[in-house]
Structure formats: structure tokens, C-alpha cells
Amino acid sequence: MNDRDFVVVVLGGYGNFGQVIVQRLSSIAGIRVWVAGRDLAKAEALAQQTGSQAVRLDINQTDLGQRLRELGTHLVISTAGPFQRQDYRVAKAAIAAGAHYIDLADARAFVCGIDELDEAARKAGVLVCSGASSVPALSAAVVDHLLPQFSQLHSIWHGISSSEKTPGVSTLAGVLDYCGKPIRQWREGAWQTVHGWQELSAHDFPAPQGKRWVINCDIPDLQLFPARYPGVRSVRFSAGVGLRATQFGTWLLSWLVRGGLLRSAVPLAAFLRKGAVLLEPFGDGISGMFVRLQGLDLSGNALQRVWELQALNNDGPNIPCMAAVALARKLAAGTQAERGAMPCIGLLDLQEYLSELEGLAITTAER
Ligand SMILES: NC(=O)c1ccc[n+]([C@@H]2O[C@H](COP(=O)([O-])OP(=O)(O)OC[C@H]3O[C@@H](n4cnc5c(N)ncnc54)[C@H](OP(=O)(O)O)[C@@H]3O)[C@@H](O)[C@H]2O)c1
């Protein structure tokens, strides 16, 4: 460690995804990591394991900006969700401390509204980016990669089917927020209302994963993609889990909310997480992501391209973490010149994202 190190504070650093980010960043020469959260003992345990440092920080503390400055922070990475009902206090604290800010948010309004901090971020000369994760960072990188094959893009349907490995309670609380609730989706060239965790559909992944069931989710892509890809008439995102019992259970839960028998599924997050952990031994450790584009090729003929990712041995949970890692690497190296506040699209190309996954049991293919 020396004074020239690039200092990264990972908020939620000992959480499910935070610890993957901490482990990876701690192994990069020239990067020094603070593991941060409300539980100092947990932060210290991981810091000791990874050769990083620990600090107690609460995203709600009023002197957060001051504390970040004292720690010599160059970059704040926030995994401290759920982001669905958060304001931008962490990003503002980072800007006040003159530090870059990256979060893993999957909350549509939160990610899409981050550009309200653009002027402040530019003035401070920092990058503020929201949604540095599977969606929209990886999903947009895949669409951008496939796009040159199309003269016209008509529809985007993408999705994720995770393995049985249960995410943290903040991820669950985030996705339960729109369970059974109305969602706006761009369909046939108009905004339409569908419902979260409904519209059960299947995607056939190549072997060994096979058929997986997925349902509607409310993510930033639903709003960002119709603007980013002019002319596209439908944008749909679905997600699910490999275990059918869990998958169909969540689908049934959405009917309880939609039917008014349950006001919100969010209070059930911790309880449902415990149930999902008990079912983990029945899983196959495989997760996958698909991006299916339809439109016209360069000669005007109908074209469908499907990009798929498959992760074995429960390596899937590394995927949402690698946008933050890739961006931190570029910021530390001085090769990420973009400044201002924006959703995390177009900042990483597909190759930059996938190169962070090398060495894991993760493959991608196009058909
Ligand atoms: N965009 C995407 O594609 C995508 C995909 C998956 C997940 N995600 C996002 O990733 C986030 C993290 O998921 P996860 O599974 O890692 O959740 P998790 O295990 O619950 O981790 C959340 C972490 O935040 C910390 N935290 C919570 N409240 C805090 C506060 N007030 N101050 C400081 N730290 C606080 C928690 O520690 P303490 O409670 O001890 O403080 C915990 O370490 C989710 O919220 C989700 O939005 C995004």
C-alpha cells in the first residue's frame, strides 16, 4: 500500500455481491479497498481475509461525505440496496468528497433519474454511474454488440435465470417491491401496463441448462432501451430461478398482491430468503442470461439473433459484480475519461465486461 493507491470504499462490502467486489478489487495492484457497512465486525473479518481495511459507515449518516474524504476515497461503490426507495444521498456524498460513484442498482426510477446529478458531478470532475451490473450494463453491452447485424431492430427480449444460490436480502427486497404491481413496458410501439412477476414464459437454454421459466421484472432497461435504440417496438425483460418450486411459488405470490390479498411482498423478504436457502441443495448450480433481438438484417431479411451466457458451479453471482470491478479498474488506470452522472450504459463494451469473468465456469455463445 502507498499514498498513490486508488482508494475504493465498498458500501455493503461484506454483503452477497459486495464481498465478490472486495475480493476482486483487493487483488488488483494499485487499488486499496475499504470494506464498509453498518457491522464493523463483519467488515473486519472480510478485510482481514482480503488484505483490505474495514470501516463502519451507514449510508444515512449525515457526515458521510466528510467521512469519505477522511478515508482518502477516490471511488465509492454502493451495493447497499434495495435502491427502489432510496434517494441519491450516497452519490451526493461521494461528489462532495470529490470521489467517483458507482452503484449496482436495479431500480428503474433510481437508475433512470441519476442524471439529475450530472451538473454537480461534472463540476466536481467525477463519474457518477448507476446500474453497474447485469442490467443495464451487461444487457446494453450485448445489444450494442449485436446491433451492427441489423438494419432495423424491432424487438428486444432479454432475461436472467439464476441458480438456486440465494441472493442477499436487499436483492430480494428490491425484486419483491414490484411483485404483483403494475409495470410500464414498451410493446408494439406504445407504453402498456403489465404486472411484475407475471406472464410466465420459457426460454430454452442450450444443454446442460435446458428450459427455464421466467417472469416480468421492472428494470431500468425497460425505460432506457426504447430511447437508446430508436425504432425498437418492444422491450421486455423477464427473470426467474432454476428451482421450479421457488419459481412457481413467486409467480403465485404475485397473484396474491395483484388480487389485493397482500399489500406488498417486501415484508416477506427475510422469510422467503430463509425458505430459498433451505431449498438450495436441490439446485443444479447453473444460471444463465439471454438477449434475443428480432428485426431485419442488412439486406432487409428477417433476422433473429440470440446471445446466451451460461454459468456453472454457482459462478453466476460473479456476473452482477463485474461492471463495478471493470469500471474501477479503468478509473484507477486513468482510462475511463467520461465524467458526469448517467445510467451505466455504453461505458463498458461486451469484451471489457466478459474479460472480468475469465477463469470462471462461464461461457457465452450466439445463435
Ligand atoms: N442491476 C443488477 O443487475 C443487479 C443484480 C443483482 C443485484 N443488484 C443489486 O445489488 C444490491 C446488493 O445485493 P446483495 O445480494 O449483495 O444484497 P445484500 O447481501 O443484502 O447486501 C447489502 C449490503 O448493504 C449493506 N447495507 C444495508 N443497509 C446499509 C446502510 N444503511 N448503510 C450501509 N450499508 C448498508 C448491508 O450490510 P448491513 O446491513 O450490515 O449494513 C449489506 O452488506 C441489491 O440491492 C440489488 O439492487 C443489482
Partners of 193 in beta bridges: 184
Cα 234–chain centre separation = 21
pLDDT of residue 101: 98
Task: Kindly list the averaged pLDDT for each block of 10 residues, start to end, along the chain of length 367.
Answer: 84 97 96 98 98 98 98 98 94 98 97 98 98 98 98 98 88 89 96 95 93 95 97 96 83 91 90 88 93 98 98 95 98 96 97 96 96
CATH class as words, domain 6-133+320-345: alpha beta
Class of domain 135-316: alpha beta
- Whether the CB-CB separation of 239 and 254 falls below 8 Å is answered with no
85 lines ligand 1 (CB under 6 A): no
- Burial tier of 7 (Cβ tally within 10 Å: 0-12, 13-18, 19+): buried
Supply the pLDDT for residue 1.
54
136 Cβ below 6 A of ligand 1: no
By the 10 Å C-beta count (0-12 exposed, 13-18 middle, 19+ buried), 38 is classed as middle
83 lines ligand 1 (CB under 6 A): yes
Instruction: Round to whole Å and give the CA distance between 354 and 357.
Output: 5
Residue of 129, 171, 266 with the most ligand 1 atoms within 8 Å of its CB, for mutation: 171
The ranges of the chain annotated as CATH 3.30.360.10 are 135-316
Is 80 close to ligand 1, i.e. is its CB under 6 Å away?
A: yes
State the span(s) of the chain assigned CATH 3.40.50.720.
Answer: 6-133+320-345
* 298 Cα–ligand 1 center, Å: 43
pTM, full prediction: 0.95
Residue 133, pLDDT score: 96
